Structure 1
Amino acid sequence: MDTSANLLWSMLVISFPGRSATPRMRVWRALKGLGAVVLRDGVYLLPHSKSAVMALQAQADAVISSGGDAHVLSFTSNDQPQADTFQKLFDRTPGYARLIKTIQKLNAGSIKRNVVKTSRDLRRIRREFEDIAATDYFPGPAKEQTQHLLSQAEASLFALRTPGEPQAKMGDIRHLNRADYQNRIWATRTRPWVDRLASAWLIRRFIDPKARFVWLENPEKCPANALGFDFDKAAFTHVGARVTFEVLLASFDLEKDTALMRLGSLVHYLDVGGVPVAEAPGLEMILNGARHQLDDDDRLLKEASKFLDFLYASYTDE
């Protein structure tokens, strides 16, 4: 194992007065979150970096403020075997192996049987993966394998939940004049999910208040006089990393509205994944319930718009 570039380490040595458990537990949890390993009681180790030294010093300060004694030390390993021994202490392979086993149980059959549960499971697995990866100071094949399997499972779920989801196109997003897009017919795929519902809400609320919507069983039969959105070759669809809602924000100069931008992050996460958003599970459950209760897409949009109005108002207040 070649660790010649990883011979420098940072160490925290602490001792607490008396038997008070509260400050001890607080520091222990913080060090666990950093991924520090325990060399012996009161001695913690991290690979050296500026951020590691700052994090360890913060815990040293906490120990000292509680009446204890603490020192942060940086040192170089005496030799390669010692560096190898230290590096093995940071091996995250068991954590990845546990996640791989969990992911492998989510075969195509189980995903199809319970899409909502699988969605929750995959979000939990994604959070656990990111937690492990955050303290994986020496990543290797186990991380790559886990990332690959997790991405495959997420892609399978995404394809199942959103058949016909458009492929992102590349290029710049043109800035458009809202005055040219008034009282128009807008068309998208039937049985809309979050990106189409949110985009339709955005169109009617901020772009074309008198918009009329057509729900297409076959996007290839989109009326010639309709503005298509969120399907391949539509006037407005995914561009690069942006989902349709975000493309509409950029197209009509709505990105200055911070509340709409926050909604954009929420829609993005629910539609294609990415950075988790706290409100996402709640909105997903509401929209999924609405889709099961309402067969008419116009009614579905009407009900979904209420919750999007609530979220927008809340984000605006914040």
Structure 2
Amino acid sequence: MATEDWLLLTYKVPAEPNRHRVALWRKLKGLGAVYLQNGVCLLPKTDDHRRALKLIDNEILEIGGAAFLLESAPLDRSQSERVVARFRAERDEAYKELLDRCDDFEAEIAKEVAADHYSYAEIEENDEDLKKLKAWFGKIHKLDFYGASLAAAAQARLAKCETLLDAYANEVFVRQDENRQADSEEC
């Protein structure tokens, strides 16, 4: 693994109002920043990150805080590996949470099947849930700068959820079609 250069943001903002600190933390986490400690975070050195961090730097100054935005390079390969490991660990935590939600999705489908509840409304609801899971995966994947170990498992699990929903939907269509045929025969 080659050494990597990063952008280092160190900042301090007024304690009140708390919403400024929370908004700042959300923005930085939304960019995929890894916090080394309170008020000190890293992002891979890219033009996009540089622009985003410059905007954040300006916001910090506007609310009466202090910030320093620096380019940073590791002293040696082991330092680089430790930082990359932090990035991967944070993405793996996000993928783990996604996998847990996939468990919930699969359990919901299993519950409907066990209850012999096959309806279009359930397809719509579960389809919406699957879209949310896919969007969430996309957000995590976008911030997975160094290939976290659970990325492939999360992607495979989403594919499994989609296959499960397709099978459930097909059964709904079959049963609903059978109901329509039975209703037309009674008339």
Shorter-chain TM range is 0.7 to 0.9
Q: Which one of the candidate residues 128, 131, 152 is aligned to 1:123?
A: 131
- Residues 1:109 and 1:66: Cα distance change in structure 2 (over 3 Å): closer
Aligned to 1:99: 98
- TM-score using structure 2 length: 0.74
Distance in 2, Cα, partners of 1:103 & 1:110: 14
SS, match of residue 136 in structure 1: coil
Q: Is the 8 A contact 1:9 1:47 kept in 2?
A: yes
1:124-163 to 2 correspondences below 5 Å: 124-161=132-169
Q: What amino acid maps onto 1:27 in structure 2?
A: L
SS, match of residue 77 in structure 1: coil
- TM-score using structure 1 length: 0.46
Distance in 2, Cα, partners of 1:20 & 1:82: 36
SS, match of residue 150 in structure 2: helix
C-alpha displacement of 1:104: 4.0
Distance in 2, Cα, partners of 1:59 & 1:157: 41
Structure of higher CA gyration radius: 1
Distance in 1, Cα, partners of 2:17 & 2:66: 14
C-alpha displacement of 1:18: 6.1
Instruction: Give 5+ residue unaligned stretches, structure 1.
Output: 164-190, 193-216, 218-291, 297-318
Aligned to 1:67: 64
Aligned to 1:222: none
- Residues 1:111 and 1:153: Cα distance change in structure 2 (over 3 Å): farther
Aligned to 2:50: 53
Distance in 1, Cα, partners of 2:54 & 2:153: 34
Q: CA RMSD in A?
A: 3.0
Greater fraction of residues in helix: 2
Distance in 2, Cα, partners of 1:141 & 1:41: 26
Distance in 1, Cα, partners of 2:154 & 2:85: 19
Distance in 2, Cα, partners of 1:77 & 1:153: 41
Q: Is the 8 A contact 1:111 1:118 kept in 2?
A: no
Distance in 2, Cα, partners of 1:86 & 1:24: 24
- Residues 1:130 and 1:84: Cα distance change in structure 2 (over 3 Å): same
Q: Is the 8 A contact 2:15 2:21 kept in 1?
A: no
When structure 1 is superposed on structure 2, of 79-88 and 16-25 the one drifting more is 16-25
Aligned to 2:29: 32
C-alpha displacement of 1:161: 2.4
Does residue 23 in structure 1 map to residue 20 in structure 2?
yes
Does residue 109 in structure 1 map to residue 106 in structure 2?
no
Distance in 2, Cα, partners of 1:122 & 1:62: 36
Instruction: Give 5+ residue unaligned stretches, structure 2.
Output: none
